[in-house]
Amino acid sequence: MRFGYAVALAAFFAAAPAMAQLTVTNGNDESARHEYNANQDRAAGRQNMEAAHQEAAMGNYRSAARDQQAAHEDWHAAHHQQYDSNHDANSGVTLHIGQ
């Protein structure tokens, strides 16, 4: 019984170099860049909103409104970057067949 397993394992290793390797990759690597930019925009939005809260706490409401508007613009940009990332991630598949 063990001899049969040994023969099967030897046959597998003998045939392994002849087996093709299949690699599936995304056709467009822009997805990672868009995801990174979305994260940066979200972080900038959080910083701007924190600055708006601090300005409002000190009574500087005009500056707080500007910071709040900047935060919303950053979040809007992050939304677009996330959309582009999702679009690029689903835009195509490349198959590489070889050894």
Profile the chain (99 residues) by mean pLDDT over runs of 10 residues. 72 60 60 87 95 95 96 94 81 58
Residue with tokens 């067949």: 97
**pLDDT at 19 (0 to 100):** 55
**pLDDT at 99 (0 to 100):** 55
**pLDDT at 21 (0 to 100):** 60
**pLDDT at 94 (0 to 100):** 57
Q: What is the pTM of this model?
A: 0.61
**pLDDT at 14 (0 to 100):** 64
Name the nearest CA neighbour of 87 among 8, 21, 34.
Answer: 34
Distance from C-alpha of 35 to C-alpha of 78, rounded to nearest angstrom: 9
